[in-house]
């Protein structure tokens, strides 16, 4: 009589990691098993022989199979950390990336009033807006997104974190309440429609509306740069994330529109992935 294999943490993790592709296979397996069992990842190492109930092993196997098909871990878990904030995620939004924390860092370094008014456009999970609100309680932070599902999710994250961020449904500036801002910040769609990366990795499962922006990836950025001055206070800032190879083109759009102090900043990988500019005081340069 052949005995059934023991359902230990070590055996389940070794098996799953051998079947999940990619450099993070073991990490992925540990995150999924921790989600199902409630055990900590450090507990897996301290007590590898701990047994897992058969029904939980079945649930774990379902998640492993979905991960093997390429489903992002964040969608399987239903949450993702950003700026040390636990955020709920869903397939109606992009998964917040660590490099977008660089955008938050740049915003916090800008010379702004203590009571600055800020809007995060295309907010998705609300990650950028919530990070800023957590760091600057004196700021009035709002956020917008075109997709109703994203708006609902961002509102839920704001409530869960008890952060006072108002979230509106809007296609860029079209549906924003009247007002003006000291900072407009966005991680907009910036991938070209024929980019091969759209068929690779986690991106395959993320909403195309949050990724793709025309033939060169700059359609939405053009729209934002064109309309932003109508919503900026004098000496207000526009700060955008973009593709690693788009800095020169985005800078040109800023300068052409009349922004000053235009420059690009690097992400954690050393790529120029953010461009910022300041709208000048009223004068002939911005009387457009």
pLDDT one digit per residue (tens) for the chain, 288 residues: 344 456 889 999 999 999 998 888 898 999 999 988 888 888 888 888 888 988 999 999 999 998 988 888 888 888 888 999 999 998 878 888 888 999 999 999 999 999 999 999 999 999 999 999 999 999 999 999 988 999 999 999 999 999 999 999 998 898 887 778 999 999 987 665 555 554 556 555 455 555 555 667 788 898 999 999 999 999 999 999 998 889 999 999 999 999 999 999 998 889 999 999 999 976 444 444
CATH number of the domain encompassing residue 44: 1.10.8
Structure tokens at 238: 């526009």
Task: For residues 60 and 161, state if they share a domain.
Answer: no
Task: For residues 16 and 142, state if they share a domain.
Answer: no
Task: For residues 102 and 236, state if they share a domain.
Answer: yes
**CA distances (Å), origin 1, targets 5, 7, 54, 171, 180:** 13, 18, 20, 65, 76
Domain span at residue 230 reads 79-286
pTM of the predicted model as reported, rounded to 2 decimal places? 0.81
Task: For residues 48 and 92, state if they share a domain.
Answer: no
Task: For residues 31 and 163, state if they share a domain.
Answer: no
Structure tokens at 96: 């917040």
CA distance 236 to 117: 10
E-state strands within 124-254: 140-145, 165-169, 181-186, 232-241
Structure tokens at 281: 């005081």
Q: How many domains does the chain have?
A: 2
Residue 4 lies in a domain: no
Task: For residues 112 and 146, state if they share a domain.
Answer: yes
SS3 of the chain: helix, strand, coil, percent, to 5: 45, 20, 35
Contact 98, 49 (CB under 8 A): no
CA distance 42 to 123: 33
Task: For residues 126 and 204, state if they share a domain.
Answer: yes
Taking the chain, what is the end-to-end CA distance rounded to the nearest angstrom?
85
Task: For residues 106 and 61, state if they share a domain.
Answer: no
Task: For residues 124 and 267, state if they share a domain.
Answer: yes
Residue 148 lies in a domain: yes
Task: For residues 137 and 203, state if they share a domain.
Answer: yes
CA distance 117 to 233: 9
């Amino acid at each position: 009589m052949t005995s059934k294999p023991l359902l230990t943490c070590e055996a389940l993790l070794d098996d799953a990691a051998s079947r999940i592709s990619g450099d993070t296979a073991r990490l992925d397996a540990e995150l999924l098993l921790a989600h199902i069992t409630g055990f900590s990842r450090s507990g897996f190492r301290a007590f590898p022989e701990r047994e897992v109930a058969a029904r939980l092993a079945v649930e774990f196997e379902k998640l492993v199979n979905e991960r093997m098909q390429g489903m992002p871990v964040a969608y399987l878990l239903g949450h993702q950390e950003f700026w040390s904030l636990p955020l709920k995620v869903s397939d109606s939004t992009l998964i917040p990336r660590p490099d977008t924390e660089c955008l938050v860092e740049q915003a916090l370094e800008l010379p702004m009033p203590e009571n600055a008014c800020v809007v995060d456009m295309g907010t998705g999970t609300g990650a950028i807006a919530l990070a800023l609100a957590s760091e600057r309680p004196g700021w009035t932070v709002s956020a917008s997104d075109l997709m109703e599902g994203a708006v609902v999710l961002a509102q839920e994250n704001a409530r869960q974190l008890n952060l006072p961020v108002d979230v509106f449904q809007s296609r860029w500036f079209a549906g924003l309440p009247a007002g003006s801002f000291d900072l407009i910040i966005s991680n907009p769609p910036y991938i070209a429609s024929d980019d091969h990366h759209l068929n690779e990795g986690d991106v395959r499962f993320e909403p195309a509306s949050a990724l793709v922006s025309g033939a060169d990836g700059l359609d939405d950025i053009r729209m934002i740069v064109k309309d932003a001055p109508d919503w900026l206070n004098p000496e207000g800032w526009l700060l955008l994330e973009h593709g690693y190879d788009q800095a020169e083109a985005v800078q040109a759009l800023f300068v052409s529109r009349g922004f000053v102090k235009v420059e690009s900043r690097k992400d954690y990988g050393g790529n120029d992935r953010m461009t910022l500019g300041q709208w000048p005081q009223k004068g002939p340069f911005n009387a457009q």
